[in-house]
Amino acid sequence: MMGLKLKITVDQDAGFCFGVTRAISKAEELLAAGHQLYCLGQIVHNHAEVERLEKLGMQSFSHENIDSIKNKTVLIRSHGEPPETYQILQKNGNQIVEATCPIVAKLQEKVERSDSEGSFVMIFGKAEHPEVVGLTGRISGNYIVVKDLADVDYLSLPKSLTLYSQTTMDLDSLNQLRSKLEEEGIEVDFRDTVCRKVSNKKKHLESFAIENDVIIMVAGERSSNGKVLYEICKSKNSRSYKISQVDQVSPEWFKANDRVGITGATSTPTWQIQDVLEAVSKL
């Protein structure tokens, strides 16, 4: 049987961001040194990578089980955690390994400062996302989390506020929110805290999607960043597909001589992208 003779390009900007790379490197170092390592939550929103690290000996646990973790070595993943988490872990005699992304850590400090100055804080993001949970845990005053312009009740907001963003949100949407708030007569102290690894990727991915006939986005099912990046591809190329594991690749997506672009989220390991490349190359 003749192959499809696909022309495959791997996005050179795909794969782990700095914060995730740093957290995983710390985990690998500790495991290689023989430490019994526990991670609070998934170290990265990618099941395959979590599974790989667990085979090396890392154990994941949830916030629901935090009180049962005592006298262990616990890694704080790149998303960060609220102060309460540190207090519980320290009270139970755990050694904490700090792997919060430095960009997220600076954002935490800024949010804390705005709160201490008495500002009403608005966070553009997803309330249930671990990064946002880590941010809101630092606010003792008034705040609101919004993920969509349609969610905002402008009449209920104060006349002035400080606007922050979860680092993986879409920059254009953040700017639209800022403009809408100002149109409603609200004074906005705007803090652009979108990670440039994400926002700079938008134009690049738009071009990448147009240049190829088929796009495969490799991302964990729970990856917020993966969903954002996939939607960017889909908006420019209707033949875009999002998969979380290599066996989800379908031959039906391709035609002979198609140009195929393979990319991934900032939480997607390079080895997984390579696995997809090998699978597509065999078609």
Q: Which of 64, 109, 131, 182 is catalytic?
A: 131
pLDDT of 32 above 90: yes
- Which CATH code of 3.40.50.720, 3.40.50.300, 3.30.420.40, 3.40.1010.20 fits the domain covering 7-15+198-281? 3.40.1010.20
pLDDT of 18 above 80: yes
pLDDT of residue 168: 84
pLDDT of 55 above 60: yes
**d(C-alpha 194, C-alpha 130), whole Å:** 16
Residue 202's pLDDT band, with cuts at 50, 70 and 90, is confident
Q: What is the pTM of this model?
A: 0.83
Q: Tell me the pLDDT tens digit for each residue of 95-123.
A: 999 999 999 999 999 999 999 999 999 99
pLDDT of residue 1: 40
pLDDT of residue 188: 97
**Position of tokens 């969610």?**
151
* 103-194 matches 18-99 in CATH topology: no
Q: Tell me the pLDDT tens digit for each residue of 68-86.
A: 999 999 999 999 999 999 9
The domain locations on the chain are 7-15+198-281, 18-99, 103-194
Q: Tell me the pLDDT tens digit for each residue of 142-198.
A: 999 999 888 899 999 999 999 999 998 888 899 999 999 999 999 999 999 998 877
pLDDT of residue 2: 55
- Alpha-carbon torsion, ordered 165, 158, 116, 189, to 10 deg: 50
Active site (annotated) includes residue 112: no
Q: Tell me the pLDDT tens digit for each residue of 145-156.
A: 999 888 899 999
pLDDT of residue 4: 86
pLDDT of residue 209: 97
pLDDT of residue 146: 96
3-state secondary structure of 75: strand
Q: Which of 162, 151, 16, 30 is nearest to 98 (CA)?
A: 30
Tell which CATH architecture fits domain 18-99. 3-Layer(aba) Sandwich (3.40)
**Position of tokens 């019994």?**
36
**d(C-alpha 59, C-alpha 181), whole Å:** 44
- For a pLDDT cut of 90, what percent of the chain falls above it? 81
CATH class, range 103-194: alpha beta
Q: Which of 105, 112, 38, 118 is nearest to 70 (CA)?
A: 38
